[in-house]
Homo-oligomer: A and B are copies of this chain.
Amino acid sequence: MTLSEDPEPIVAAAAAAHRAWSRAPRATRAAALTAVARALDDAGDELVEVARAETNLAEARLRGELLRTTFQLRLFADVLLDGGYLDVRVDHADPQWPMGPRPDLRRTSQAIGPVIVYAASNFPFAFSVAGGDTASALAAGASVIVKAHAGHPELSRRTARVVVEALRAAGAPDGLFALVETRETGIAILRDPRVKAGSFTGSIPGGRALFDIASSRPDPIPFFGELGSVNPVFVTGAADRARGATIAGELLGSVTLGSGQFCTKPGVVLVPRDGALLAALREAALPDGQPMLNDRIQAGYAETLHELAGHPDVEVLAQGSDPFGAAPSPTVLLTSLDALLAKQEELFRECFGPTVLVAAYDLEADLVRFARAIDGQLTATLVAEEGDGIVPGLVDELREKAGRLLWNQWPTGVSVTFAQQHGGPYPATTAPGTTSVGTAAIDRFLRPVAFQGFPEALLPDELAEAPATGLVRRVDGAVETRG
């Protein structure tokens, strides 16, 4: 595999490959995705070793993440074979259609075109070169150019080599997948008229800058950025009384998991003042620090933590011995819900690392007031009892703010499933109607196309009267399963 930073041949090849790949039978694409998964499995030992050398992540975590990565590829192969993602609609001609005679109209979905995927640093496998965006874009039929994250350059190259070779062996077109490394190349590709979408997982400033480039092109393109989230947790008085100490332990587990480097890490938790949870946190035996991904992330964490901990409305509730080290001990900060409401921009912000800001409240009703005040979130968590009077109103507010609501569970550990939703109103994501995790992630890279009055021989198989490959379709308005 040759690594080049000249965008022209890369984009030209991606554009050519897109056509062949997007027209290939779904089973062909599914087989190629499965082949990539198998090749990553086979290269697992080597890849994990490289990942260990380039990041501070432990082997068990990396192996788990690789499992997630290959599982995603295999799940999208299943999605392809199922075919429901195409949202096929067949309307037969109908002279009696109430608004006037209806022509024969058949609608399917196809790949939007070549896509640039910006890899994330915190999941060197699952949100990087062969991660969820790549898997869902390839499944959709798009060609993919990955902009590698500088946090794990050699792992990116090795992973790309495995992907390219597996795709080639599976008969996929040359140029279907490519890796680039420099910021300049990435931007040139994002600006190229042959590239039709971008996706990104990372910080708000970085993602917004790329979104602005995509949106201000002469021909704007969709940009699916997953930018950041505070993931607030709302603890009711009843839950605090019933199991405050247990909640404290679970919360700290979620906050410190992976050294707090997850986009769904709970960053702010609202707790009753003078309750059992607050007392337990004050006295908690904090877990040991774990190394952060890399020095850059550690430095960023230390800076934000300094700002938060030094804020006049914030005190340190609990802290390990080495909160700013390379393997930072966890820090629990304390403020009041009133301060949080009054100084949202300063206090209600993502701090990527093992810390949480606890906001004590006096009035449970203020939880609703707070939910109403916040920006878009990936997740919002309720820790509550079923009979709590506040709950229905709080759920009603939080549905407007977050893509995923949790009930007495913790937001870290985002399962890859059919119903998963990882995305929410801005700034959680730049495209609130989409998800970057779960099978619905494929929708981002699709575009509908309708055929009117076409002879059967010229229609894609899924639009034929009796498709050779069965799938669920809506025919004359009614869902039909076949095949």
Taking Cβ atoms with an 8 Å cutoff, the residues of A that contact B are 19, 23, 64, 67-68, 71, 74, 78, 82, 84, 87, 89-91, 97-100, 102-103, 105-107, 110, 112-113, 196, 211-212, 215-216, 219-222, 375-376, 386, 391-392, 395-396, 399-400, 402-409, 413, 415-421, 423, 425-427, 430-435, 438-440, 443, 446-455, 457-458, 472, 474, 476-477, 479, 481
* Distance from A67 Cβ to chain B, minimum over Cβ atoms (Å): 6
**B426 contacts A458, C-beta separation under 8 Å:** no
Closest B residue, CB atoms, query A397: B19
Assuming the contacts A215-B220, A447-B433, asked whether A396 and B19 have C-beta atoms less than 8 A apart, the reply is yes
**B219 contacts A407, C-beta separation under 8 Å:** no
CA distance A221 to B449 in the complex (A): 24
**B415 contacts A451, C-beta separation under 8 Å:** no
**B433 contacts A395, C-beta separation under 8 Å:** no
- Further 11 A-B residue pairs, CB within 8 A, beyond A212-B215, A409-B453: A84-B479, A91-B419, A103-B415, A105-B415, A105-B417, A112-B433, A219-B427, A220-B426, A222-B432, A404-B449, A479-B481
Query: Which residues of the other chain, B, contact A376 by a CB distance below 8 angstroms?
Result: 219
Sample 5 A-B pairs with CB under 8 A, ordered by A number. A87-B440, A91-B420, A105-B417, A107-B419, A433-B443
* Distance from A151 Cβ to chain B, minimum over Cβ atoms (Å): 23
Most buried by B among A68, A99, A216, A418: A99
**B107 contacts A405, C-beta separation under 8 Å:** no
Q: Among the listed B419, B433, B447, which residue makes an inter-chain contact with A450, where contact means beta carbons less than 8 Å apart? A: B419
Assuming the contacts A426-B220, A453-B408, asked whether A477 and B421 have C-beta atoms less than 8 A apart, the reply is no
Assuming the contacts A71-B98, A458-B392, asked whether A405 and B451 have C-beta atoms less than 8 A apart, the reply is yes
CA distance A432 to B245 in the complex (A): 51
Most buried by B among A82, A106, A216, A220: A220
* Distance from A354 Cβ to chain B, minimum over Cβ atoms (Å): 22
Query: Which residues of the other chain, B, contact A434 by a CB distance below 8 angstroms?
Result: 448
Closest B residue, CB atoms, query A455: B386
Assuming the contacts A407-B458, A452-B404, A454-B407, asked whether A447 and B419 have C-beta atoms less than 8 A apart, the reply is no
CA distance A420 to B418 in the complex (A): 27
CA distance A405 to B448 in the complex (A): 11
Query: Which residues of the other chain, B, contact A477 by a CB distance below 8 angstroms?
Result: 78, 82, 418, 439
* Distance from A342 Cβ to chain B, minimum over Cβ atoms (Å): 19
Closest B residue, CB atoms, query A435: B448
Q: Among the listed B87, B113, B220, B433, which residue makes an inter-chain contact with A448, where contact means beta carbons less than 8 Å apart? A: B433
Query: Which residues of the other chain, B, contact A196 by a CB distance below 8 angstroms?
Result: 425, 432
CA distance A82 to B67 in the complex (A): 38
Query: Which residues of the other chain, B, contact A474 by a CB distance below 8 angstroms?
Result: 84, 418-419
Closest B residue, CB atoms, query A106: B419
Assuming the contacts A375-B219, A407-B452, asked whether A113 and B400 have C-beta atoms less than 8 A apart, the reply is yes
Q: Among the listed B212, B403, B453, B476, which residue makes an inter-chain contact with A418, where contact means beta carbons less than 8 Å apart? A: B476
**A415 contacts B100, C-beta separation under 8 Å:** yes
Q: Among the listed B220, B421, B425, B433, which residue makes an inter-chain contact with A446, where contact means beta carbons less than 8 Å apart? A: B433
Closest B residue, CB atoms, query A219: B426
CA distance A212 to B82 in the complex (A): 38
